[in-house]
Amino acid sequence: MTIDFYWRLPTHGCHGSIRHGAYDRGDWSPLGAHNVAPGLDRYGEDDGFRYIDHLAEIAKAAESSGFIGGLIPSFPNTDDPWVISPLLARETSSFRFMIAFQPGFLNPVHAARMAASLQRATGGRTVFNIITGGGGPAQLWWGDGFSHDDRYGRTTEFLDVFKGVWRGGGFSYDGRFYQVADGGLSPLLAAEEIPEIWFSGSSDAALQSASKHADYYLSWLEPFDQLTDKFARVKERTAALGREQKCAVRVDLVARATEEEAWRDIRAGFENLTEERRAQGRGGPTDSVGAARQQALKPSEARRYDELIIAPNLWGGFNLLRGGPALGIVGSYEQCAAKLDELIARGTDAFILAGTPHLEEAYRIGEEVLPLLGRQAEALLHAAE
């Protein structure tokens, strides 16, 4: 049994420490002498670096410490994964680029050409993280007026067309959202492998779309029993359609040599929170079912960091410390490995891990946690049989 471990590239800057809220990596906060790529040199001038130089460091750290690739997230105020991936293609060698995107924003035939070209540029290192949810004002910001369930219908059709033209010439399609007459990629492009497709979304519409096209179903970390049920539902639904779908978890870790050190960082981060940051943690209006499930944890109401420990080594306040999901794993290297092993035993087939700061933590988790994985998972699996 082998498991794919991805790291995460922070596309909206990064903190120098989980203890502090300032995005001092990149130009996402006011530039100062401490900013990393781009920053100001000792004379107060632009130092000539760009944020991609920092992302390149993270990708290379992840690649050399055992990760198969990285998730490249996309939101209104981030850099774009379709641009980042080819920019880094030629200075990485095994790192897979997991491009997060909303398929509704691209012509599926053109997207197939872009993806096949990127496969050629990278030797087949392109992976898709298809995102469809979100919704609310953000969706109109993107210029997308379709309803939640329509967006999933459109995603399904997008992938029908995307895969259809990839088989080569003579492809026609007459859908509600897309129509193609006698299309298809040229042999040069069609010879490439179709990227592995990761899907997320917790609603019924999402699960239905995922069960048709996804290779991996991706979820944020949720309480383990809840997650186990969800994965069972996904696998059951896909099996009913005669397909197989693997399940993956995206989760942040604070892994330290001892558990005490790990909680010390969480506690310091929690005690440094500003009221503004707490308010952001409450989240805005959304029709994303996954986001609503996370908001139900109510981390922004907590007064002490340990009120948010929902199970041993599981902490529900990560969204206060940085943007993203609330639940994450905190503990010693061995404890973190044990938690990941438990998730493997409960049906997790792949992971996207993250830690702050992303550069240093890629090395730490790659070197200290990944090598400990597997032994307990195998024992747990054996016991379950």
Partner 1 sequence: MTIYSYWQVDVTDAATRSEIGARPRTPTVFRDVRTRAINRYDYYAQIAQAAAQTAFDGVFFPYRPDSDDSQTVAAAIAREVPRLALIPEFPASVGSAVYAAKQAVSFQRLTHGRLGWAIARPADAATRASDGDHVPDGQLVERTEEFLTVARGVHGTRPFSFAGAHFEVQGGGFEAPLNRVAFPRVFLQGEDEATLALSARAADVHLFGAAPAAVLRGRIEQLDALASAQGRSVDYGVIQQVLARETDDEARQDAARAGVAAPAIIGDYDSVAARLGELAGLASITSCWARRLRSRKPIALASMSFPASAR
Q: Omega of the bond prior to 325 within 30 degrees of 0, cis?
A: no
Which is closer to partner 1, CB of 79 or CB of 361?
79
Which of residues 93, 147, 226, 274 is near partner 1 by CB under 8 A? 93
52 binds partner 1, rule: CB under 8 A: yes
Q: Which stretch binds partner 1 (CB under 8 A): 49-57, 292-300, 355-363, 372-380?
A: 49-57
Instruction: Give 71's strand partners.
Output: 8, 98
Chain center to CA of 174? 32
What is the DSSP secondary structure assignment for residue 25, as one 8-state letter?
A: B
What are 69's two structure tokens?
């690739």
Q: Which stretch binds partner 1 (CB under 8 A): 179-187, 244-252, 256-264, 358-366?
A: 179-187
Which is closer to partner 1, CB of 161 or CB of 365?
161
285 binds partner 1, rule: CB under 8 A: no
Contact string 136-155 vs partner 1 (x = CB under 8 A): -x--xxxxxx----------
Rounded CA separation 359/49 (Å): 16
284 binds partner 1, rule: CB under 8 A: no
- Contacts of 35 by beta carbon, 8 Å cutoff, 6+ apart: 24, 25, 26, 27, 29
Burial 251-284 (b: 16+ CB within 10 A, else e): bbbbbbeebeebbebbeebbeebeeeeeeebeee
Which is closer to partner 1, CB of 150 or CB of 307?
150
Only one residue has tokens 């410390």, namely 321
Rounded CA separation 250/43 (Å): 41
89 binds partner 1, rule: CB under 8 A: yes
Site size with partner 1, rule: CB under 8 A: 54
> Which residues here bind partner 1, judged by CB under 8 A?
27-28, 50-52, 76-77, 79-80, 82-87, 89-91, 93, 104-111, 113-114, 116-118, 120-121, 123, 137, 140-145, 161, 178-184, 186, 188-189, 191
